Amino acid sequence: MQELRYKIDGGKSIAVFEIDTPGPVNAIGEQFVTELGKATEKANSDGVKGVILTSAKVKSFLDGANLMEIMKDPSPISVKHLILKLQETLEALAKSPFPVVAVLLGQTALGGGFEILLWGCDHIFATSGSKLGFPEVNVGLFPAVGGPETLRRAMGIKTTLDIVMGGKVMPAEFYTNSGLVTVVSKDKIFLEAEKWIENNKGIVNRNYDPEWKEPNLLSIEERQMLIKNARDRYTVCPEKPYFKAAIDAIEEGLGLPFEEAVRNEVHHFAPLIVEPNVKNKIDLFFSLTSLGPKLAKIDRKKAIPATEIAIIGAGLMGQGIAQICADNGMKVLLFDVDEQTAQAGREKIGNGLELLVKKGRWLQERKDRVMNNIRATEDYRELKSAPLVIEAVFEDLDLKQKILKQVQDVNADIIFASNTSTIPMEEISANSDRPEQVVGMHYFSPAPLMPLLEVIQGPKTSEIALATAVISGRQQGKTCIIVGDGPGFYTSRTFGVFVMTGFYLAEMGLEPWEIDRLALEAGFPQGPLHVYGTAGGGVIYHGGLLMKSRRPDLLPVPETLIKMYEAGYTGVGKACFYKDGLEPDKSALKFVVRNTSLPTPESDEAKEMLLLAMVNQAFLCLDEGVLRDYFSMDIGAILGIGFPDCWHGPARYVSQNGVRATQDRIQAIYDKYGLSFFKPAKEFERLIVCGVDRGLI
C-alpha cells in the first residue's frame, strides 16, 4: 500500500503530498520516510511552485513513529538509522526552492508528525479542533527528529521545555501568535494555503534563515536557570531516563549550529530504546490503547442504553461526572437537596468551562453543547424514565442508603451506581429490595481529567447492572476495570497503604518532606504526605477509619494521622505539611508520634517500602478476588492511583524483579517493622509453587 500519494495541479503547479498510512492513524515508518523523500525529489524535478501536505485520515494528520514497527527490532542502531534518514529527508524538503505548507482539517499532528511540520514546512494552516504537540515522554521517549530545536526556534526555550517535558498536545490556536499556524475555516483553508504559496515564492525555511533570531530570547543566565529548574523537576527519578536525555539534548543544542543540534538529539534518543523502563512505558501505551478499551469483560447485549443519566449530588465530583457525560453527548439530570443547590452546581460547571474557552483550550461551541445537555432539578419523579442514576454524595453509608431507597421508591428498575471510594456495595444495598440493581462506579478526581473508572461488582450485582455501568463508562471515554466488592475495593485500599506508609515512615524518624522527596525519586507523581494535604486529610482520615473498621488486621491508621486530623491539619486551604508554594510547614512536626521502638529506614529502603506497600496490597487483592487479572492490576494502578508508570504497574514490577525476590523483600520488611499490610500475599507463594518467577505481564 502506498503511504504518501503525490498529486499535482497542472494549472496551479502546486503538488499535494497526501498521507495515508495503514491503520486508524497515520504513523511514520521506513516506507513512509522513503516515499516522502521520493515525493520531494519529484516535486523538485517537476519545478512546482509549492507543496501542500495533507492527510486522508479524518482525525489524524500524522501521529508520530510507528512504534509497532520499531519494537520489532528495538535496537539503537536501527532506530538511529530511521531517524537520521527522516532528518535527511526533512532537510531536503526544507531546502527545496518552493514554499511548503501543511493543511490540517481538525486533525492531530503529534510527535514526529509535528516535527515534520516544524522542520519541513514553512507554514501550517489548520481548522479549529486541530491539535499539535509532543506527547513522547508519555511513552518513555522524547522528540528527536529536530523537535526541540525547531520548536525553540519558533517559540523560544521556555515554551519548548514546557511542551517537550510536559508531553503536551495543544490546540492549533496556541501556536498562532508564533507565526507557525494560521487558523482558517474549512471552506477557505485550501484557498488560503494556495494564496500563501503564491505570496511567498523563494521563501527561506526559518531553520536555515541566517537572519533568524530566537523569539523571546533570554539571557544565558536565564536559560541556564530554566534548564536547571527543568532538571530539578523532571530528573529526580533515575528510572525515567527519557527526561534527562531530553534536557541534555535541549541544553547542548543551545551551543550548536542547527544541523549539528538536530543530529545530536539522535545520540541521546537511540540508547533509550533498550532501557527496561522505557519498554515498560511503551508496553503500557500498547496495553492502554489496544487492551484498555475491552479489558472489562461484560455481555454487551445485557447493557441498558443510557443516553440520559441522572446524577445525585452537585458537589465537585457530581459536577465533574455531569460534565464528562454531557461532553460525550448524554443528557444529564443534576440533582441535589434543592433545585437552587443543583443549579449552583451547574453554574460552577459553566464557570469552569468558560475559563477553558478563554485560555483557548475549549471552543465556545463545545462549552455551549455541554451546558445545553445539563439540567438541574430536585424532583425525584423525573427518575421514572431514567435508566441509570449515579449517586455522588459524600462517603456516608446512611446517606447513601437513604438516597438508594428514595430512588428505588420512584423507579425500582433503575440501575443505581454509587460513586463511592470505600464503602462496599453489599453494605450500600443491604436494606434494598433490589440489590441486584446496585453497582459501583468509582470515579477519580478530577473526574473530567482522570481516565480510569473502577466498576465494582457487589455480591448481588446483576450482569445487567454491571454491563450498563461499563458501557456507560466507555461512552464517557473512560478506561474501565471491573473489581470485586470489599472495603476500599482495589484502588482506594492500595492507594491508602501508600499514604499510611508515608505516615509510618515519619513515625520511624524520617522528616515528612524527606519522605515526599524519596517518593518522587521512586517515580511517584506526589509524595504520600503531600497527597494527604492536596487530596484532603479529612477524606483520607474517614476513609482510613472505615477500612480499618472492616479490616483492622490489614489496614491500620497511624496515630500521627489521627492527631493531625483532630488538630485541623487537613490541607485543602487549612494547615498541613506544606504552606503555599510547597514550603515545609514545620508546625506539623508536633503531631508526629515518634515510634522509638523501630529503626529509622535508610533512604533506599524507604523508597522500596513505598513501592512494595502498594505491590503487596495489589497482590492481596488477587488473593481475595477483588482483582481478577494482572492487566486490571497494572492499568488501574497507573491510571487511578499514581503507581510509577516507569514500572508499568505492580505486576510488571514483580515480573522484572522476580516473584521470589519480591516476596523475600516484603517478608524482610514485615519482619523488621511489623506493619500488618506488609505480610506477604499468598499469590506470591502460589506463583513460586507453580514455578513462575517472571513474565506475569
Question: What number does CATH give the domain 294-484?
Answer: 3.40.50.720
Q: What is the pTM of this model?
A: 0.93
Q: What pLDDT shows up at residue 11?
A: 81
What sign has the CA pseudo-torsion 83, 86, 92, 95? negative
Q: Check pLDDT > 90 for residue 4.
A: yes
C-alpha radius of gyration, the chain, whole number: 27
Neighbours of 72 (CB within 10 A): 9
User: What is the band of 580 on the pLDDT scale with cuts at 50, 70, 90?
Assistant: confident
Tell the burial category of 30 from Cβ atoms under 10 Å away from its Cβ (0-12, 13-18, 19+).
middle
pLDDT of 134 reads 98
Let me know: does 49 contact 198? Beta carbons within 8 Å: yes
pLDDT value of residue 581: 72
At residue 573 the predicted structure's pLDDT band, cuts being 50, 70 and 90, is confident
Encode pLDDT of 628-674 as tens digits: 999 999 999 999 999 999 999 999 999 999 999 999 999 999 999 99
If you average pLDDT over every residue of the chain, what do you get? 96
Give the Cα separation of 357 and 364 in Å (integer).
Answer: 6
- Looking at residues 577-599, what average pLDDT do you find? 93
Judged against a pLDDT cut of 90, whether residue 359 lies above it is answered with no
Whether the pLDDT of residue 595 is over 80: the answer is: yes
Q: Is the pLDDT reported for residue 7 higher than 90?
A: yes
Q: What's residue 361's pLDDT?
A: 80
Q: Whose grid coordinates read 492481596? A: 620
pLDDT at 235: 97
Q: Which helix (H) or strand (E) holds 204?
A: none
Contact (Cβ atoms closer than 8 angstroms) between residue 48 and residue 100: no
CB 677 within 8 A of CB 617: yes
Q: What is the pLDDT of residue 505?
A: 98
Residue 123, pLDDT score = 98
Q: What is the distance of C-alpha 638 from the center of its chain?
A: 9
Encode pLDDT of 309-329 as tens digits.
999 999 999 999 999 999 999
What is the DSSP track for 27-58?
-B-HHHHHHHHHHHHHHHHHT-SEEEEEESSS
CATH class of this structure's domain 4-200+214-274? alpha beta
Which residues, at least 6 apart from 476, have a Cβ–Cβ distance to it below 8 Å? 324, 325, 328, 330, 453
Please state, in angstroms and as integers, the Cα–Cα distance from residue 363 to each residue in 195, 237, 321, 329, 357, following that order.
27, 37, 20, 16, 6
Confidence class of residue 10 from pLDDT cuts 50, 70 and 90? confident
474-484: pLDDT as tens digits: 999 999 999 99
Fold topology of 491-689: N-(1-d-carboxylethyl)-l-norvaline Dehydrogenase; domain 2 (1.10.1040)
Domain boundaries, the chain: 4-200+214-274, 294-484, 491-689
Residue 9: pLDDT above 90? no
pLDDT at residue 582 in the model:
84
CB atoms within 10 A of CB 315: 14
Q: Is the pLDDT of residue 239 over 90?
A: yes
Residues 198 and 202: their CA atoms lie apart, in Å, by 10
